[in-house]
């Protein structure tokens, strides 16, 4: 079968969607995670429970919100509460996955969404933590979704907005963060990455279609570990693309 063409947003959405497990709870932000969750609900994960930080639990994602608290985040949901309840639910260990983005990420999965440059005299003032730090602190497994280039995949982030593995093994626990939590996957335009279990450094698990392991390394500023066997991540399927384009984002707000 001929592969249909797709753009980088569609690639990220389809890749993230495949990581969403049926019957689990997942913190969903607006943008790509939201589209990925809507796609997953229509394909392999009808019982995915999306949790939106401002209070929506268990929405059925029929239309797309443009705002993180928009009506669709609690469309036919099972509960509509508030931010404190939602993050406390995660703090108690109820939320399995958290999806995050960022301007920069380092080898330990630490994320920056606060400043480029010095905090008190920034070159670029970014929005700040928002719910990012809360999600990265409490979700059992966090998944970062980002375009992949050397400016984003840096040796040291300018500011640790959201904790990854911080300085390495044991650092999260020493800081008091919940035991057994941390970065799980990084989904990019070039690859799917994980974290080496002992040293907690980022490692290449699979390359996106048409991308080589060398391409990924060249677009990463830190030394990238390779999994024993680096897989080829399959391209978005015709069905994924059809549902994404015709049902999930028919108005093409994001894709």
Partner 1 sequence: MDRTLAGTHPALHPETLRILESGIGDLIQPPDVEGFREWNRAKDKRLVDKRMTEAEAVRRFVKPGNYLGTELYGTVRCPMSVVHEIIRQGIGDLRVAGQGVLELDMLLGASLVKALDITYIGLEVYGLSNCLRREVESGRVERCVEWSNAGIAWRFKAAAMGVPFIPVRSMLGSDTLKYSAAKVIECPFTGMPIALLPALILDVGIIHVHRADACGNAQIDGISGFAFEMARASKRLIVSAEEIVDTEVIRRRPDRTTIPYYLVDAVVEAPFGAHPGEMCYRYARDEEQIRRWVEASKEPATTADFLKKHVFDVPDHQAYLALFGEEHLQKLREPAGRAG
Asked whether position 137 contacts partner 1 by CB under 8 A, the answer is yes
Active site residue 53: yes
Near partner 1 by CB under 8 A: residue from 33, 50, 56, 236: 56
Query: Which one of the listed residues 10, 21, 53, 173 is annotated catalytic?
Result: 53
Question: Residue 97 to residues 2, 12, 27, 47, 94: CA-CA distances in angstroms?
Answer: 34, 17, 6, 14, 10
Residues written for the chain: 255
Partners of 122 in beta bridges: 117
Asked whether position 160 contacts partner 1 by CB under 8 A, the answer is yes
Asked whether position 132 contacts partner 1 by CB under 8 A, the answer is yes
Asked whether position 122 contacts partner 1 by CB under 8 A, the answer is yes
Nearer to partner 1, 43 or 132 (CB): 132
Near partner 1 by CB under 8 A: residue from 133, 142, 203, 220: 133
Q: Of the listed pieces 51-59, 144-152, 214-222, 231-239, which binds partner 1 according to CB under 8 A?
A: 51-59
Site for partner 1 in 67-106 (CB under 8 A): 67-75, 80-84, 87-88, 91
Question: Residue 232 to residues 16, 191, 205, 216, 219: CA-CA distances in angstroms?
Answer: 15, 9, 9, 12, 17
Distance in angstroms (rounded) separating the CA atoms of residues 174 and 178 = 10
Distance in angstroms (rounded) separating the CA atoms of residues 124 and 115 = 6
- The Cβ of residue 136 has, within 10 Å, a number of other Cβ atoms equal to 28
Site of interaction with partner 1 (CB under 8 A): 30-31, 52-56, 63, 65-75, 80-84, 87-88, 91, 114, 119, 121-134, 137-138, 159-163, 166, 171-172, 174-178, 253-254
């Amino acid at each position: 079968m001929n592969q249909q063409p797709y753009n980088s947003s569609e690639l990220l959405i389809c890749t993230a969607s495949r990581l969403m497990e049926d019957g689990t709870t997942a913190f969903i932000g607006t943008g790509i995670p939201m589209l990925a969750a809507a796609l997953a609900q229509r394909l392999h994960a009808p019982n995915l429970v999306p949790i939106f930080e401002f209070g929506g639990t268990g929405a059925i994602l029929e239309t797309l919100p443009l705002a993180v608290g928009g009506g669709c985040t609690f469309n036919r949901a099972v509960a509509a509460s508030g931010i404190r309840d939602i993050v406390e639910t995660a703090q108690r260990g109820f939320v399995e996955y958290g999806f995050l983005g960022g301007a920069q990420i380092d080898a330990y999965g630490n994320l920056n969404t606060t400043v480029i440059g010095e905090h008190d005299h920034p070159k670029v003032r970014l929005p700040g933590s928002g719910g990012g730090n809360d999600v990265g602190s409490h979700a059992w497994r966090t998944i970062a979704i980002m375009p992949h280039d050397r400016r984003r995949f840096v040796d040291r982030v300018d500011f640790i907005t959201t904790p990854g593995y911080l300085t390495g093994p044991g650092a999260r626990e020493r800081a008091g963060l919940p035991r057994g939590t941390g970065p799980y996957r990084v989904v990019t335009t070039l690859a799917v990455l994980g974290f080496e279990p002992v040293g907690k450094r980022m490692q290449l698990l699979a390359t996106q279609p048409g991308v080589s392991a060398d391409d990924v390394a060249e677009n990463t500023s830190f030394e990238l570990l390779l999994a024993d066997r680096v897989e080829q991540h399959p391209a978005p399927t015709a069905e994924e693309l059809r549902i994404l384009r015709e049902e999930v984002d028919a108005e093409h707000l994001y894709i």
